Amino acid sequence: MNRMFLRGCAPMLLAAALVNCGNPTGSGEEKHAADETGEHADDANAVTLSTQQIADAGIEVTRPTVGGAAGAIEIPATIEGDPEGVQVVSASIGGRLVALTRNLGQSVRRGDTVAIVESREAASLKAEIEAARARAALAQSNLRREQRLFAERVSPEQDLVAARTAATEATIALRLAQQQLSATGGGGGALNRITVRSPISGQVIARSAILGQQVSADAELFRVANLSRVSITTSLLPADAGRVRPGARVEVVAGDRRQEARVSFVSPILDETTRLVPVIATIDNGKEQWRIGETVTASILVPAGTNRTVAVPSAAVQMIGDKPFVFVRTATGFRATPVTLGRTNGGSITVTSGLSGEEQIASTNSFTLKAELGKGAAGHED
């Protein structure tokens, strides 16, 4: 009999079983076990079932999870580009875009040309280089002439010193002009053009540039990301954040994808809006299976605590009236035990009182036990 059928029919099976096996005296062995546990037939919180009836109803019996074993904080998170692996590509001087060599999604290597800008400022910088080069050549020529005249004892030494100083200054001016052009990207072919190069290797994830567009200095043209590593961003309650340290393991799950990450940053400051603690983890994305902006489930593994904690599956908890109960296995079936609940973590709930952790509890189909308990209560009222 499959699980789904049993789940639907379990209350009827239990009712029939109780009719067939409802002898209040029971076997001598079961009666003796009941006496030892303090159970009696008129216990309003008890449900009497045999081992076979429990199996037929598809009720699984397990022990609660007991801490201080290591636990996990399960929270939603977002995939983002690694802050160290994302770069904005911009032109250092304003001008008109006359060439764009990359589009969204295309790969690029560090130093590759991604755009060419036509600019009057570029023309001025290149003209200054040509002028500085000419002045440097003239100064070198004068220095050579003064060196020859001084060697022939025609010119005084002070003329040689002046020529040497002028040549040095001209060389410095040429180098400065070349560095200024290099800072803008340099190259570009024509006198009035400069090239815009990618600062890192990666993939183009954003493009705001349009061919022929007039752009200002430092305006964003592209955004390049090295997606071999990505970041997972989330936020924690301050109490939980105190248990998380950089280097902690994080299990990242989305659909059938599962991978381990590591916490790289736990903010020492609360977010002013949410009053939560921002946390960042990094994950290897060499196979490119994680996409920027997607939502995932992150389980941050935390070390064992100093306090003993007891947790049960969410399906084990049933509300009877306005109070939570867990069905604890007894010698003759189950007994509904009142509990006090703590925080919910994924598919489990922390029990702060009511259980020691040594009990065996109904972890599935406990709703059928609740139904039988309700029938018993109705019978007593009659």
- At the top level of CATH, the class of 120-191 is mainly alpha
Please tell me which residue, 182 or 136, carries the higher pLDDT value.
136
- pLDDT bin (cut points 50, 70, 90) of residue 310 is confident
CATH 1.10.287 spans which residues of the chain?
120-191
Query: Which ranges in the chain are annotated with CATH 2.40.420.20?
Result: 3-69+308-381
Q: What is the per-residue pLDDT across 8-50, written as a single tens digit (0 to 9) for each?
A: 444 444 444 444 444 433 444 344 434 434 444 457 889 998 8
> Among residues 133, 121, 110, which one has the least CA distance to residue 194?
121
- State the average pLDDT for the chain: 81
What CA–CA distance (Å, rounded) separates 223 from 210? 14
**CATH 2.40.30.170 residue window(s) in the chain:** 71-84+226-302
Give dist(CA 73, CA 70) in Å, integer.
Answer: 10
Stretch 131-148: mean pLDDT: 91
Please compute the mean of the pLDDT values over residues 349-372 and round it to a whole number: 89
Task: Return d(Cα 366, Cα 84) in angstroms, integer.
Answer: 50
**CATH number, domain 3-69+308-381, options 2.40.420.20, 3.30.43.10, 3.90.1150.10, 3.40.50.720:** 2.40.420.20
Residue 374 has pLDDT above 90, yes or no: no
The residues near 265 (Cβ < 8 Å, ≥ 6 apart) are 246, 278, 279, 280
Whole-number pLDDT of residue 141: 93
Average pLDDT of the segment spanning 198-202: 89
pLDDT at 291: 87
The CATH number of 71-84+226-302 is 2.40.30.170
Which residues fall within 8 angstroms of residue 65, CB to CB, at 6 or more apart?
Answer: 310, 311, 312, 348
Binning pLDDT at 50, 70 and 90, where does residue 256 land? confident
| pLDDT band, very low/low/confident/very high, at 84 (cuts 50, 70, 90) | confident
